[in-house]
Chain A
């Protein structure tokens, strides 16, 4: 099927969503996603961050869709024309979406461990307004320990449901879900029952904000002071491919490997994540390439150039070294 996204034509299979078609093209035209997660079934359609304009439904029915549609759960049709960043209406709407998501979100980025790799922070930075217009009191919750390894700041949650899907789909025996409705909705493990699953730690990586954070890493360092390193180990439960966040010889935390859409390719087990803080247990492959604009790259000059487009990188390298 042929679709046109922001004047770029692409051929995709039937049944692909607009989001995935855009991701196939890549670059700026990929709509932001706060709740959609490729590897989690049924995710998406909740945060409205990925709204796009369909200016032509299909070749058979060229009328535009009456409202903006969520690109993560709308499948493409033959001859569909989609506008994302070329539509001022979409960009204006996104400002509103950011405002809605930030209504109850506390502005405690200086405290939050997620700052620097937070989807909401990036989204708000790219699309949001400078100031909030919300004067009322924000909903607040107490900080809860979910098990021994995870801390839940319900106040920061944007109710994307990703973590409950991890609990549903990755682990057997559901232990946590969402209680109440609307404004009062709350992620909970009934009566603070500890989540004890081998893969429960993936909730931390999956969380787009700082609602679920690593208890071992809590307040220990800021992500941009750490050097992310690709590493692996033999693990019976998972692939064992992780990112070590190090400073000097010390491992501060272990996370899964996220792709350019901030999604984990492979989920890792809790043994890898929480039990192995010794470099002896890991085979370190080398520094991880991080998106160039990311704050994690600041002050790491080498990694900064690595994240450049390949042609530019090789050009810079050639200028530096000549024809060796």
Chain B
């Protein structure tokens, strides 16, 4: 056997247990008392997803592409978020706004395709910082679990903020959705 290099080693004496100890009853009662006392305490968990925790204002969850006051998309596909992204999670394609689409898109160029790969994203918030148009923000939600990887590539349908009721964009989006359904 190897000899100890320090004097801190304690030799454990294994005494034989007496009958009272061999019944284990006091230990079980003691353990149960601790367990039952926990029933009457405030639970440390919450019932997600029905209940949600309040998060700090600076919380960085899923992205949202904001609309402006009149309901037009703020994003102009400048590509600065994709440039700032350390995980290279963002891709986009730009298109030119046609006459008559002013209530849908704020600037003459807009993102026709905008994708964030949520599996790549590290939620650092650099895209939010880089955005010159105050278009992209990280909100409170986070990506929910799913079975396939491709469901984590979020397109514009899941990223763009829903237009507020009363704006022109709301009507246009509504008409478009009804047409899709019919």
Determine the chain B residues whose CB is within 8 A of the CB of A295 once the complex forms.
Answer: 83
Q: Are A110 and B83 in contact (CB under 8 A)?
A: no
Enumerate A217-271 residues with CB–CB distance to B below 8 Å. Answer: 218-222, 224-225
In the bound assembly, the distance between CA atoms of A108 and B82 in angstroms comes to 18
Q: How far is B153's CA from A146's CA once the two chains are assembled, in angstroms? A: 40
Using known A-B contacts A108-B107, A111-B109, A219-B96, determine if residue A299 contacts B76 with beta carbons closer than 8 Å.
no
B121, CB-defined interface residue at 8 Å:
no
A224 / chain B contacts, CB cutoff of 8 Å: 79, 83
Q: Are B78 and A110 in contact (CB under 8 A)?
A: yes
The total of chain A residues at the interface (CB under 8 A) is 15
Question: Are A219 and B109 closer than 8 Å at their CB atoms?
Answer: yes
5 A-B contacts, Cβ less than 8 Å apart? A111-B78, A115-B78, A219-B95, A222-B78, A225-B83
Across the interface, which residues of A come within 8 angstroms of B80, CB to CB?
Answer: 110
Is the CB–CB distance between A218 and B96 below 8 Å? yes
Residues of chain A contacted by B78 (CB below 8 angstroms): 109-111, 115, 222
A283 CB-CB contact with B under 8 Å: no
Contact A110 B95 (CB under 8 A): no
Contact check: which of A111, A218, A298 meets B83 at CB < 8 Å? A298
Q: Does B133 contact A (CB under 8 A)?
A: yes
Q: Which of B76, B82, B94, B133 contacts A220 (CB 8 A)?
A: B94
**Distance between Cα atoms of A225 and B109 in the complex (Å):** 17
Do B107 and A111 touch across chains, with their CB atoms under 8 A apart?
A: yes
What separation, in Å, do the CA atoms of A220 and B79 have in the docked complex? 11
B129 interface residue (CB < 8 Å to A): no
Q: With the chains together, A224 CA to B130 CA distance in Å?
A: 15
Q: Which residues on B sit within 8 Å (CB–CB) of A298? A: 83
Flag if A225 contacts B82 (CB, 8 Å).
yes
Beyond contacts A110-B80, A221-B79: 15 other A-B pairs, Cβ-Cβ < 8 A, are A108-B107, A109-B78, A110-B76, A110-B78, A111-B78, A218-B96, A219-B77, A219-B95, A219-B109, A220-B94, A222-B78, A222-B79, A224-B83, A225-B82, A295-B83
Measured CA separation A218–B94 after assembly (Å): 9
Residues of A within 8 A of B171 (CB): none
Chain B contacts for A115, CB-based, 8 A: 78
Residues of chain B within 8 A of A221, CB atoms compared: 79, 94
- Report which residue of A111, A218, A224 has the largest number of chain B beta carbons within 10 angstroms of its beta carbon: A111
A222 CA / B79 CA spacing, docked (Å): 7
With A218-B96, A219-B95 already in contact, the answer to whether A299 and B133 are too (CB < 8 A) is: no
Measured CB to CB, the nearest residue on chain A to B78 is: A110
Q: Which of B82, B96, B133 contacts A110 (CB 8 A)?
A: B133
Contact A219 B79 (CB under 8 A): no
Bound state CA distance, A168 and B88, in angstroms? 45
Question: Can you list, as one digit per residue, whether each of B108-145 has a CB less than 8 Å from chain A (1) or not (0)?
Answer: 11000000000000000000000011000000000000
Interface centre among A219, A221, A225 (most CB of B within 10 A): A219
CA distance A141 to B87 in the complex (A): 40
A110 and B94 contact, CB distance less than 8 A: no
B108 touches A110 (CB 8 A): no
Complex CA–CA separation, A84 to B23 (angstroms): 95
Instruction: Determine the chain B residues whose CB is within 8 A of the CB of A109 once the complex forms.
Output: 78, 132
